[in-house]
Amino acid sequence: MTDSIQTWAEKVLARDRRAIARAISAVETRDALGRELLKRLFPASGKAEVIGVTGSPGTGKSTLVEKLAGAYRGAGARVGIIAVDPTSPFSGGALLGDRIRMQSLASDKEIYIRSMATRGQLGGLAPTTHDVVTILDAAGCDAVLIETVGVGQDEVEVARLADATALLLVPGMGDDVQTFKAGVMEIADLYVINKTDLPGADRLAQEVEAMLSLAARGDGWRPPIIKAVATTGSGVGEVKQALEQFRCFQEQSTGKEKRRRAYWRSRLLELLRQNLFEKVAREHLGGGSLERYVDDLLQHRADPYSLVERIVAESVASG
Ligand SMILES: Nc1nc2c(ncn2[C@@H]2O[C@H](COP(=O)(O)OP(=O)(O)OP(=O)(O)O)[C@@H](O)[C@H]2O)c(=O)[nH]1
Ligand SMILES: [Mg+2]
């Protein structure tokens, strides 16, 4: 078994597309094999530039990601695309749409596209997006583009995972700058005013400009505002250029290391939390125990604080 995982990992590292697809599926279903595979792939990851593209539904994220992927390919980079879909796995409409829309990339063997459903998880990412990035990174993608829905403060999660985050805004969608939650504006390393073929683009750009001049970022980076028409590809070169400038800025100012350090710190804590919870749930909440505890609480025979202390103590004692 170990041997076959080793071979599988080697195939992923050698960019075998079937092996990559199987690896992602194993990780998505939280298969134990997936975890074993990730252990072997992790040392080879950490090289890809991870770029988050976020914005309200319909702002043109998929269209921009497709064009941006084309621009990276044009520069000889290998590209991974992860489209995170907010809808349930059942409606599937947007997934299908993305696949059709990104068809121009489908025949390119150096581009890997994967759609994922958030399955109700907050944060704008699917629970296993982090691990899929590791796989694509280990498989030699120079850039991994993550499209994620912007539904408020939730997509802060993608900014944590990404080295750079682009926020798409479009004129006339009620996306008035005043209505943004502060958190959403804070995550953007660059702003893309998309659909500038529609009226109101200049006003929107001015509003963002005005907002940015009110509060300087702690790291001294002034997020550029780029006007684009994703459908024609206009402005896409500028977006790519701005991402490169930001990367240079980050490398010179050690911002990138700081960001990745913060990411791995919280990722480690998150995995630890998840792992400990799963252990406790497996060992102490099965076989009707959970409902018996709930009965105790309902009847006020026990208080939840003491119960949790007892369950945790038992779990720790059991090793
Ligand atoms: N007029 C105009 N339409 C655009 C532009 N960019 C994208 N669109 C259109 O806007 C619609 C939505 O584009 P998508 O790329 O699917 O947007 P999205 O943000 O990925 O949408 P969701 O993933 O569903 O949130 C499509 O019909 C695009 O053709 C643009 O620059 N101008
Ligand atoms: Mg989309």
User: Average pLDDT for residues 166-193, to the nearest whole number?
Assistant: 77
Q: How many CA atoms lie within 13 A of 18 on its CB side?
A: 2
pLDDT of res. 1: 46
d(CA 142, CA 272): 29
Closest CA to 314 of 272, 270, 282: 282
Can you tell me the mean pLDDT for 117-136?
Answer: 76
Residue 155 pLDDT: 58
One-character DSSP codes across 179-229: GS-HHHHHT-SEEEE--TTSTTHHHHHHHHHHHHHHS--TT-----EEE-B
User: For residue 49, what are the β-bridge partners?
Assistant: 143
Does 84 sit in the ligand 1 pocket, CB within 6 Å? no
Backbone φ and ψ of 164, nearest 5°: -145, 145
Highest mean pLDDT among 136-140, 215-219, 279-283, 314-318: 136-140
Q: Which value, in Å, is the radius of gyration of the alpha carbons in the chain?
A: 22
The stretch 174-202 carries a mean pLDDT of 79
67 lines ligand 1 (CB under 6 A): no
CA 304 from centroid of its chain's CA atoms:
35
63 C-alpha to ligand 1 centroid (Å): 6
Residue 170 Cα to ligand 1 midpoint, Å, equals: 10
Q: Give 92's pLDDT tier (boundaries 50, 70, 90).
A: very low
pLDDT band at 88 (very low <50, low <70, confident <90, very high): very low
pLDDT exceeds cutoff 50 at 147: yes
Residue 90: what pLDDT? Answer: 46
- Does the CB atom of residue 105 touch ligand 1 within 6 A? no
Amino acid at 58: G
Nearest CA to ligand 1 atom 7: 60
| pLDDT band at 182; cut points 50, 70, 90 | low
Best residue among 149, 231, 238 to mutate for probing ligand 1, ranked by most atoms within 8 Å of CB: 231
In this prediction, residue 122 carries a pLDDT of 56
Model confidence at 187: pLDDT above 90: no
Distance CA 319, CA 314 (A): 9
| pLDDT over 60 at 123, yes or no | no
Calpha distance 118→146 (Å, rounded): 13
Atom of ligand 1 nearest to the CA of 98: 16
Ligand 1 contact via 62 beta carbon (within 6 Å) = yes
Instruction: Return the top range by mean pLDDT from 146-150, 226-230, 253-257.
Output: 226-230
pLDDT in tens, 14-27: 999 999 999 999 99
Does the pLDDT of residue 177 top 60, yes or no? Answer: yes
How far apart CA 32 and CA 37 sit, in angstroms, is 9
pLDDT in tens, 270-288: 899 988 998 899 888 989 9
Check whether 91 has a pLDDT greater than 50: no
For residue 120, is pLDDT > 70?
no
3-state secondary structure of 274: helix
Q: Ligand 1: does its nearest atom lie under 6 Å from the Cβ of 259?
A: no
| Average confidence score pLDDT of the chain | 86
Query: Which ligand is the nearest neighbour of the Cα of 113?
Result: 2
239 C-alpha vs ligand 2 centroid, how far in Å? 18
Is the pLDDT reported for residue 99 higher than 60?
A: no
Establish whether residue 60 lines the binding site of ligand 1, counting it when its CB lies within 6 angstroms of any ligand atom. yes
* pLDDT tens digits along 228-247: 999 999 999 999 999 999 99
Average pLDDT of the segment spanning 267-272: 92
Nearest alpha-carbon partner for 95 in 115, 67, 113, 77: 115
Cβ–ligand 1 distance for 197 under 6 Å, the answer yes
Predicted confidence at residue 210, as pLDDT, reads 87
Residue-wise pLDDT for 157-169, tens only, equals 778 889 999 999 9
Testing ligand 1's pocket by substitution, the residue of 56, 63, 170 carrying the most ligand atoms inside 8 A of its CB is 63
User: Does residue 31's CB lie within 6 angstroms of at least one atom of ligand 1?
Assistant: no
Summarised one tens digit per residue, pLDDT across range 32-46 is: 899 999 999 999 999
Lowest mean pLDDT, pick from 142-156, 182-196, 305-319 = 142-156
Q: Which atom of ligand 1 is nearest to 234's Cα?
A: 31
